[in-house]
Chain A
Amino acid sequence: MSVVDIRGLTGFELGKLIREKKISSPEATKVFLAAAKADFEKPTGDPTKINAFVSINEEEALAAAAAVQKKIDAGENLSPLAGVPMAVKDCICTTEGTTTAASKILEGYRSPYDATVTKKLKDAGAVILGKANMDEFAMGGSTETSYYGITRNPWDLSRVPGGSSGGSAAAVAAGFSPYAIGSDTGGSIRQPASFCNLTGVKPTYGSISRYGLLAYGSSLDQIGPLAKDARDCAAILSIISGPDKNDSTSVIDKPFEFEDLIAGKTDRKDLKDLKIGVPENYFDMPGMSDDVRYFVKSAAEAFKMTGATVERFELPMIDYAVPTYLIIACAEASSNLSRYDGVKYGYRSADAENIHDVYYMSRNEGFGTEVKRRIILGSFVLSSGYFDAYYKKALQVRGLIKKTFDEALEKYDVLLAPVCPTPAYEIGGQIKDPLAMYLGDIFTTSVNLTGLPAVAAPCGFGENQLPIGMQLIGRAFSEKTLLTLVKNYQDFAPSPYHKERATAGVEGLEVRA
């Protein structure tokens, strides 16, 4: 097994090699560390630097790999991903290294505790390589708002990897990490997965604990996986899901059980009676790319071949999803981010002379433009005089959006939609126009507003060989149905797009045959 080969493997495939003693966890970890570090050490501004990581914790990763290997050698069956290296988005607490949410205000912050997902991953034998880059406090769709520099898309270095979990997506696509964990408040797992040819899951609200996730929009945030296929996502979800007394919104009663999916025992019979609804009006939105329209519709045809019934229908309220999302997300953010005050941790302005300065100057110097924009917007919609017209209105419209999805999901088991109106765009292309950036979330935000689960998965390559993703939305806690559908598509569809690997700027990584 050569170095080149293991970097193209899925987490499950690498885990199997480790279990079969064909490679050890420390050996595998060294390969990924070397690749990640070679990129990390390139100077800022180098146009070939992908910059997927905010920090790499080499010593800790090697120690963890050695410890996991000992357990594997002793016959402990930790999980299918035991010994496999991975990356954690920088807004999720790890006791190793720093946790900064890609913000200056948390530069150097060392979490005194592990997030629940971090702990669960460690218990399952995951080896954490480091912390993945992201938009500052998960606010953005391109990983251009990070204080620690932009991340580039491994499929085309002149383009964004998506965001806010852009570092997580780029790390996997570039072969720096077999899989990664991200968070999704308005599309932040699904959109970068789509831009980087990965499979990503925004799980049902309440299925994954957010304890140790630096909060952005608490009624919307969910943690989830970014990986090379549906089987990896199933394996990761079965590790990180489950109830947690430290998160009062954790409503699931036990972790997801996906044994058959992980063992690869799905067949087309599982999908025979499935009804898939395709919201026809989604494809007529202004700015919709022809490639996205063509490939998502082609996926609908492929699902027909697996025996599912596919029907077109109208899903109303789409025009109201982004404004509703923005009001609610910014309102919650303005409250959640009030904790960064320069007192207990994080950045304190050197010019602060009194307590007023400590708050006002530290926050102004510590937060980036997009974060300030959203805090101010949040303060506005929550302020007396505007509360009813904006915040209350948005909560009411949110209820209506939920109702349209509930009605659609009474008729259909699954909804098939695009992830984004376009494939990955050029770096700098949208960052100066906040509204254009927000509108990129048009197909993803409804899923957060309603709390429903959705999977993004590769479904084609358009102009310039850019990956295109589809989105499957299901009923609450129907992750198994969604992942079974995607796994069948990945196993049986005529073109296994998910097996294509990026090559741009990735030295030493050849595309696997």
Chain B
Amino acid sequence: MKIDDKLIDYLADLSRLELSDEEKAARAEDLRDILTYMEKLNEVDTEGLPEMTHPFEKVNTFRADEVLNSDNHEKLLENAPEKRGDYFKVPRTVDE
């Protein structure tokens, strides 16, 4: 499996990480080692087998759609890195 700069840039972007060049090289090396190790799974014949996504078969669990914690507004905002009034504040996201 070839791990080139293009792939690492793509994965860093999917992961929303601004990796330094040094980190990119290190992560490429990790990925090479780990993926080589994971190739072990190719020894197992899984043709046509179902995918197990969850320990117990259980399809949707429903509950009533009720608002139960709207009184936490202030406490939630206390954790915001930046806020203005009752809102989370972020840099401008669209151009003028």
Query: Does chain A have a CB within 8 A of B67?
Result: no
A residues 371-412 near B (Cβ < 8 Å) are 372-373, 375-380, 383, 390, 392-400, 402
Interface string of B1-20 (1 = CB under 8 A from A): 00000001011101111110
CB-CB under 8 A for A395 and B52, given A323-B37, A343-B90, A372-B17: yes
Q: How far is the CA of A373 from the CA of B90 in the complex (A)?
A: 27
B16: contacting residue among A319, A360, A380, A400, CB under 8 A? A360
- Determine whether the beta carbon of A327 is less than 8 Å from that of B58: no
Contacts of A110 in B (CB 8 A): 75, 78-79
CB nearest neighbor in A for B83: A344
- Determine whether the beta carbon of A323 is less than 8 Å from that of B16: no
A residues 296-322 near B (Cβ < 8 Å) are 319-320
**How many whole Å from B42's CB to the nearest CB in chain A?**
8
- Determine whether the beta carbon of B33 is less than 8 Å from that of A434: yes
Contacts of B16 in A (CB 8 A): 338, 341, 359-360, 363
Q: How far is the CA of A324 from the CA of B78 in the complex (A)?
A: 40
Q: How far is the CA of A15 from the CA of B37 in the complex (A)?
A: 48
Q: How far is the CA of A435 from the CA of B33 in the complex (A)?
A: 8
Q: How far is the CA of A205 from the CA of B52 in the complex (A)?
A: 14
B41: contacting residue among A109, A248, A324, A347, CB under 8 A? A324
A360: contacting residue among B18, B35, B58, B76, CB under 8 A? B18
- Determine whether the beta carbon of A383 is less than 8 Å from that of B11: yes
Q: How far is the CA of A435 from the CA of B75 in the complex (A)?
A: 41
Query: Does chain B have a CB within 8 A of A245?
Result: yes
Contacts of B51 in A (CB 8 A): 392, 395-396, 398-399
Query: Does chain B have a CB within 8 A of A38?
Result: no
- Determine whether the beta carbon of B91 is less than 8 Å from that of A434: no
- Determine whether the beta carbon of A379 is less than 8 Å from that of B37: no
Q: How far is the CA of A361 from the CA of B41 in the complex (A)?
A: 35
B40: contacting residue among A248, A323, A375, A392, CB under 8 A? A323
Given contacts A248-B60, A354-B92, 20 further A-B contacts (CB under 8 A): A112-B79, A251-B56, A345-B81, A348-B82, A357-B18, A360-B16, A376-B12, A376-B15, A376-B17, A376-B27, A377-B34, A378-B15, A379-B11, A379-B15, A380-B11, A397-B46, A400-B46, A402-B55, A434-B34, A449-B55
Q: Could you list some 28 contacts between A and B, CB below 8 A?
A: A109-B79, A112-B75, A205-B55, A206-B56, A219-B55, A323-B41, A326-B34, A338-B16, A343-B88, A344-B80, A346-B81, A355-B93, A360-B17, A360-B18, A372-B17, A372-B23, A376-B8, A378-B15, A379-B14, A393-B46, A395-B52, A396-B49, A399-B49, A399-B50, A434-B33, A450-B55, A451-B55, A451-B56
Residues of chain B touching chain A, judged by Cβ–Cβ distance below 8 Å, are 8, 10-12, 14-19, 23, 26-27, 30-31, 33-35, 37-38, 40-44, 46, 49-56, 58, 60-61, 63, 69, 72, 75-76, 78-82, 88, 90-93
